[in-house]
Amino acid sequence: MALLLAPAGSLKAAQAAFKAGADAVYAGLAGFSRGKNGMSLEELKSCLSVARNLGRRAHVALNVIPRHADKEELLRAVNLLAHAGAGGFILNDVGLIAHLARAFPAIPLYASVGCGAVNAEDVLFLEELGARGVILPPGISPAEVAYIRSRTSVELEVFLLAAVEPLRPGTCILGGYLHRGSPALGSARRGRYCGRACGAPWRLKAGAGQARSCRLSFSELDMAGEVLSYLKSGVTVFKLQGRHLSPEATGLTVQRYRRVLDQALAAFGQQKEGEVRAWGNSR
């Protein structure tokens, strides 16, 4: 059964997502996740408790590229959250995936879109490291997913709603380059925080003093029309971006995509039933 994975930028947003029909949510740990929408350890433990009481899942996003100095603090947090019932960890660093796969073999690990998996070989590599699931890039075609599915058995996640960034997700150094105190080495996330430079206002100058305002900014990608094709290709998790959303907006977003996914699941089930009947009649 395919799952709808919703964003949770706060405990109230997580509750709204579950009420609207999310099968699972993902939330970031403050200081170890992208942007300003991370929860404290105590908030995350409350979120995990809410999910457990509802029979749902809550994943923890640790999508940074940690420095050696961060390692002990990060591993303490992972240990606490693992024992608090985390449904899995979303990771952006291949070294961290390999380490946690050895240290916590029972906890599902998911390779973030920042790991850059775009083909079957990438996914197989991450699977060998210990990833149980891989998040594929926004806009990947159902045909590409189907080929990857034919080569691997890991959970494959695709985005139904996502921001299409002009720079490679998870490894952009622009934020670290522009914002003092955030090291540019490897990624803005190596400094624990992405300044979202791609969404900031810029002024381009051309010629003698002429300038115009512009944004590098991403556009929004809505893949609702591809849900049935994704189901046929073997997708197991449908993800929504939006940890910046308010609880109200989170609920409305989840409601919309819950309807879309349920309709696609019903159509997919009817098609599969028809194929079984056709196969039986042919024998």
pLDDT the model gives residue 63: 84
Question: How far is the C-alpha of 8 from the C-alpha of 42, rounded, in Å?
Answer: 15
H-type alpha helices, 21-119:
41-54, 71-83, 94-103
Q: Decide: 46 and 36 in contact? Cβ < 8 Å.
A: no
Tens digit of pLDDT for each residue in 253-281? 999 999 999 999 999 987 765 554 454 45
pLDDT the model gives residue 220: 80
Question: How far is the C-alpha of 150 from the C-alpha of 148, rounded, in Å?
Answer: 5
Start-to-end CA distance of the chain, whole Å, equals: 28
| HEC secondary structure over 243-264 | CCCCHHHHHHHHHHHHHHHHHH
Assign residue 207 a region (left: φ > 0; alpha: ψ between -120 and 50; beta: otherwise). Answer: left
Q: In the chain, what are the domains?
A: 3-165+218-281 (3.20.20.70)
Tens digit of pLDDT for each residue in 82-104? 999 999 999 989 999 999 999 99
Between the CA atoms of 104, 14, 218 and 148, what dihedral angle is there, to the nearest 10 degrees? 40
Average pLDDT over residues 4-17: 97
Tens digit of pLDDT for each residue in 162-214? 877 666 665 666 666 665 555 444 455 555 556 666 667 777 776 666 666 76
Token pair 């591809």 is found at: 226
pLDDT the model gives residue 186: 46
- Total-model pTM: 0.86
Cα 35 to chain centroid, rounded: 14
